[in-house]
Structure 1
Amino acid sequence: MCGICCSVGFSVEHFSKELKEDLLYNLKRRGPDSSKHLLKSGVNYQCLFSGHVLHLRGVLTAQPVEDESGNVFLWNGEVFDGIQVEAEDSDTQVMFSSLSACKNESDILSLFSKVQGPWSFIYYQASSHYLWFGRDFFGRRSLLWHFSNLGSSLCLSSVGAQISGLTEQWQEVPTSGIFQIDLNSAAASRHVTLKLYPWKYVSKENVMEEFSDDLTQTAAELPAFVSMVANEDKLYLSKPIVPLNKMLPQVPLETHCRNSPSVPHSRETLSLFLRDEHTKKVVHQFIDVLSVAVKRRVLCLVREENLASKEVLKTCNKKANIAVLFSGGIDSMVIAALADRHIPLDEPIDLLNVAFMTKQKTGSNVPTVERKRQAHHRILSEESSQGAAVAQDLDDAEVPDRVTGKAGLKELQSVNPSRTWNFVEINVSLEELQKLRRAQICHLVYPLDTVLDDSIGCAVWFASRGVGWLVTQDAVRSYKSSAKVILTGIGADEQLAGYSRHRVRFQSLGLEGLNEEIAMELGRISSRNLGRDDRVIGDHGKEARFPFLDENVVSFLNSLPVWEKADLSLPRGVGEKLLLRLAAVELGLTASTLLPKRAMQFGSRIAKLEKTDEKASDKCGRLQILP
């Protein structure tokens, strides 16, 4: 994880050799282990490169990096596959060496087509005066652009900063492909031309997928002195995933148990599906590909030296390297269970669980042992009700996600009692929410600005900060997660029909409509979720990793017909994300397999905390910096 930035000036009088203080502050928070600046000058332009590194793997490589030819590279990414990176190597250096060896544009595109993992980058090619930049296919790493109205400068950055009353806005760099700017030409004409090299899929039979041209929409949002054009040689990046399988059944599907009134919808319902040999095979293929994705994401980081053998099982002094954004729901439960397979046994795993306090009770955020013990017993007594143990009258912090989170903790402890599972209770008062939203979170969510962005952005920021309480039967102690890597379940709902709108679409337009909805969800995940979540989590000097958006996981799910992923003729808590629920059963999970989808903003109770009459899509005034 890094904070990367490049400021380009086409006019000496308007060029600053220093970044604005608030922008630099936000970049440094993302990369606390190294900060460095580099100035490069052409005849008509100047570039200030700024890199801030969070060291996670290999040797610490300060950024920006420069080679003997004067090329400059800024990299905010992880190479999990596609290009060979040894455990002791820095993927920044591997990528830069590969780029320096590229002889032409096709070589550059071929390199980025191979990379599996999240990335954003900025690359200055000195000999041609080209500036290359872009984000990975899903947009798992943030990159913003900002153009001066005077036509005198542009800036690319991992994160922006709101300034009251300023009309020049930051925008997220679209994930349409990677971009190239001819800096000499832009300086001479005072017109910036963004040359796009788009993503395309080419099948094994060498048949090219139709390219959906979204240049028009993006270009409409740019200032007059900026234009976007497709590259004249029609070069492209190879899409890292296979197209979505939109096949429809030739005959009506077998109904399994969905029409049988005598079979209650319980874990036995799921077991009936697993009696089918083909279904069981698909479930285990899914577990295998997702397990590999999780393994890459929990092992790609520097760990402390192993303890002496006699101390191996003394975990009380060991720090967690990996945390999970944890609600106890099916997505986070499966991620945690798979992480447990691959993380060394003497290493704790932090389960980060956030709750927002109601207006009426904002006094102390400290849980009491007695209240927690009562809550614990209440949860145990309610677990029989399909695992949806939502107690209505518990302590103020006992929001729905806290209750299901504790039930999920108990499941994980039964799956692996030898593991230290740190269930971190993060309780946020209204006062603290409002204070830190104004001071920091609004700058990270920006340029997104809806009520939904506010709710999720704030919830993820407080959760990933990892400051809370560890509560046991005997004690309560304050705790701050040391984990630099945070696993999140985003991508499961989009691909496995987890949202209520999937059900609405299915009920009106059947499987064909459901396919279209899934395709749309995955296509817009970069602009709706991932850039924002990367900025919010990265603000704590931590890195978000998304196993459900691993290229191999997405390709596997895309290859399946939709009815093998979800069955929305079944009720909530069973039919949506059916494939994931079946995987959870096979992993030994119990009550969580039947929890209905509950959005984070409702499970943590941040939604409607301050206003009860807003819609999720409304513009959120709380995110605006006022004069």
Structure 2
Amino acid sequence: MCGIFCLLSLSPTHFEWDKTVYGHLKRRGPNSSRDLTVTNGNPCYQCIFSAHVLHMRGLLTAQPVQDDKGNVLVWNGEVFGGVTVIPEENDTAVVSQCLSSCSSSSEILSVLSSIQGPWGFVYYQRAGDYLWFGRDFFGRRSLLWKIDAEVLMLSSSAWQEVPAVGVYRIDLKAATVSGTMTFEVYPWAHAENDVPSSCIQTISESIPNSCTAVMNHSGLVLSSPVCPLNMSIPESLSETVIHPNSHLSFKDLEQLLASKEKNDEVNFLIDALSKAVRRRVLCLPFESQGSSPFINSRASVAILFSGGIDSMILAALADRHIPAHEPIDLLNVAFKLQEPKMQTESAKKQRKHKNKPTDSKTNEAGLRTSCPFDVPDRITGKAGLKELQDLNPERRWNFVEINVTQEELQKMRQERICHLVYPLDTVLDDSIGCAVWFAARGTGFIREGGEQSPFTSSAKVILTGIGADEQLAGYSRHRARFKTSGHEGLIQELAMELGRISSRNLGRDDRVIGDHGKEARFPYLDENVVSYLNSVPVWEKADLSLPRGVGEKLLLRLAAKQLGLGKSAVLPKRAMQFGSRIAKMENSHEKASDKCTRLLTG
């Protein structure tokens, strides 16, 4: 992963770094920094490239990469398939070589279409004087732009997000003659005649009136890396009737697994997810505190961990592929519960009488909850840790308790996080952005033998479960849509989810996690996983006639059962902002979609 930057000026201008932007980029890439300027006097333009590398695989390759033809690449991505990268090679160098061999636009598109994995890039093609840039199909890597008159700036941080609808090309010769920039768009599509009609409109809303976005004149497209969503609707299944039994449990999953057909679907999903996790946890720089890799080894991989089904499955599958002597860090974030307000004596008596049969300091799992950081995700996280220890007692599972006070939240939000969440600006973006930032920092403590010790995760790779809810109907809005519009409405909702995931989630999460010099990886958004889930009829992935904790993400719950997990397989969905209790720290009357004044950067 890298922090990348490019400035294109259509006239000779003196450029000075914005220190805030430069600081964000250097934190993303702590292992190497370099700048490169390309100028051309006829026609007159200037390109300034800057890249800051987080070394992840092969030999450390400094960026920008300039080949012997004068082409320049800044690359923020990982190649997990489609283009061959052997363990000893660096993917930036391989991508540069592939692009260097291209002599036409269609060949460049062929290379980009074939790459499986997240990426954002800027590429200067000397022959023809072209500047290419864009993001992968899902927008898993952040790329933002700022356009002022004759200047275009592209960066991993700051400004407005580049729409992840395709890749863009600027004809630099034409731009210098006209004095304005025209963005030729090469969209993602399943076929040439399958280009979304809103593609150009989406881009036009993001650029000033002095610039133009047009579909490329050759009609070329990037081949979609995933198959189309299965839009079939069941003929015999009840549309919206909710199952009368609201207490389906772990045993019910066993009954649902009984049919061979269901078993096959579950095994296909496990296989696809297992391969996706394997690609994301192998060939990492090994970290060790001691002279022997088997003594005091430090984790290379961490998981954003709540003990819910998404993170539990990632942990169970990571356990299959990470060397047995290497720990796995489970990052569990909690925001301090506020002191309760003073109550009248009568209210206290009523509450005491109401709660008399239970111990207020314990929860249903028997864990004490008197600690101000015993938020729901901490409780389910500890229960999930126990399941993983039972699954593999030989593995060292570092359950990192990351505790955040209101004072530290307010301080770090203003100093760092608000700049990373931008341009997103809602209460929900504030809650999730802050929670993910503190979790990814990995600074907390672990418990050993009843004692707690300060601990900071060394892992450069952080697995996150984003994408599971969007594909498997995990959100409450999916259940509401199913109730009002049946399977047809649910399918439309799921199609919309993946279509907007780049602008709602992924750019933000990439910036927030990358700020620690760590890389976010998204196994549930692996191209092969998404293609498989897209091919499965919606009622096989989720059965929202069943109650919460079973019906949503049903196929994933069955996979959890197959993997040997326990009660975590039937935990209802709990959003991160509620499970970590960050939503309770500020104004509890806010709505998630409200503009968040706390994110104002001044």
- The Cα of 1:69 is off from its aligned counterpart by 1.2
- The Cα of 1:190 is off from its aligned counterpart by 2.0
Whole-Å Cα distance in 1 between the matches of residues 153 and 404 of structure 2? Answer: 35
Whole-Å Cα distance in 1 between the matches of residues 242 and 476 of structure 2? Answer: 19
What is the TM-score normalised by the length of structure 2? Answer: 0.93
Which residue is equivalent to 2:220? 235
Which residue is equivalent to 1:471? 447
SS at match of 1:197: strand
SS at match of 1:27: helix
Whole-Å Cα distance in 1 between the matches of residues 384 and 193 of structure 2? Answer: 45
Whole-Å Cα distance in 1 between the matches of residues 50 and 78 of structure 2? Answer: 19
Whole-Å Cα distance in 1 between the matches of residues 38 and 71 of structure 2? Answer: 10
- The Cα of 1:473 is off from its aligned counterpart by 3.8
Residue 555 in structure 1 maps to residue 538 in structure 2: no
Which residue is equivalent to 2:17? 19
Give 1:212's aligned amino acid.
S
Greater shift after overlay, 95-104 or 295-304? Answer: 295-304
Change (3 A) 1:36 1:7: same
How do 1:45-64 residues align onto structure 2 when only pairs under 5 Å count?
45-64=45-64
Contact 2:229 2:534 in 1 (8 A): yes
Whole-Å Cα distance in 2 between the matches of residues 269 and 313 of structure 1? Answer: 42
Which residue is equivalent to 1:276? 259
Change (3 A) 1:602 1:264: closer
Provide, for residues 77-101 of structure 1, a one-character-per-residue CA deviation record: whole Å limited to 9, x for no partner.
Answer: 1100001100000110100001000
Change (3 A) 1:15 1:190: farther
Contact 2:98 2:111 in 1 (8 A): yes
Give 2:91's aligned amino acid.
D
Give 1:409's aligned amino acid.
L
- The Cα of 1:378 is off from its aligned counterpart by 10
- The Cα of 1:264 is off from its aligned counterpart by 4.3
Provide, for residues 54-79 of structure 1, a one-character-per-residue CA deviation record: whole Å limited to 9, x for no partner.
Answer: 00000000000101111100011110
Which residue is equivalent to 1:358? 337
Give 2:299's aligned amino acid.
A
Contact 1:484 1:541 in 2 (8 A): yes
Task: Please point out which of 213, 234, 259 is paired with 1:249.
Answer: 234
SS at match of 1:555: helix
Residue identity (%): 59
Whole-Å Cα distance in 1 between the matches of residues 487 and 329 of structure 2? Answer: 39
Whole-Å Cα distance in 2 between the matches of residues 618 and 381 of structure 1? Answer: 33
- The Cα of 1:254 is off from its aligned counterpart by 12
Whole-Å Cα distance in 1 between the matches of residues 555 and 377 of structure 2? Answer: 22
Greater shift after overlay, 502-511 or 607-616? Answer: 607-616
Whole-Å Cα distance in 2 between the matches of residues 237 and 254 of structure 1? Answer: 37
Give 2:200's aligned amino acid.
L
Give 1:187's aligned amino acid.
T
Contact 2:243 2:545 in 1 (8 A): no
- Detail structure 1 runs of 4+ shifted over 2 Å in the superposition: 207-214, 250-255, 257-261, 302-308, 311-314, 358-361, 377-383
RMSD: 2.2
Whole-Å Cα distance in 1 between the matches of residues 573 and 449 of structure 2? Answer: 30
Change (3 A) 1:454 1:381: closer
Whole-Å Cα distance in 2 between the matches of residues 552 and 380 of structure 1? Answer: 43
Whole-Å Cα distance in 2 between the matches of residues 531 and 171 of structure 1? Answer: 11
What is the TM-score normalised by the length of structure 1? Answer: 0.90
- The Cα of 1:9 is off from its aligned counterpart by 1.6
Change (3 A) 1:478 1:69: same
Which residue is equivalent to 1:73? 73
Change (3 A) 1:122 1:424: same
Residue 213 in structure 1 maps to residue 237 in structure 2: no
Change (3 A) 1:287 1:504: same
Whole-Å Cα distance in 2 between the matches of residues 441 and 183 of structure 1? Answer: 35
- The Cα of 1:186 is off from its aligned counterpart by 1.8
Give 1:15's aligned amino acid.
H
SS at match of 1:63: coil
Whole-Å Cα distance in 1 between the matches of residues 372 and 547 of structure 2? Answer: 30
Change (3 A) 1:210 1:390: farther
Residue 224 in structure 1 maps to residue 175 in structure 2: no
Give 1:275's aligned amino acid.
A
Whole-Å Cα distance in 2 between the matches of residues 556 and 604 of structure 1? Answer: 31
Change (3 A) 1:378 1:275: farther
- The Cα of 1:489 is off from its aligned counterpart by 0.2
Which residue is equivalent to 1:382? 364
Whole-Å Cα distance in 2 between the matches of residues 469 and 208 of structure 1? Answer: 55
Whole-Å Cα distance in 2 between the matches of residues 342 and 540 of structure 1? Answer: 25
Number of residue pairs the alignment of both structures matches:
582
- The Cα of 1:216 is off from its aligned counterpart by 1.2
Contact 1:248 1:511 in 2 (8 A): yes
SS at match of 1:191: coil
- The Cα of 1:619 is off from its aligned counterpart by 1.0
- The Cα of 1:250 is off from its aligned counterpart by 2.6
Give 2:431's aligned amino acid.
S
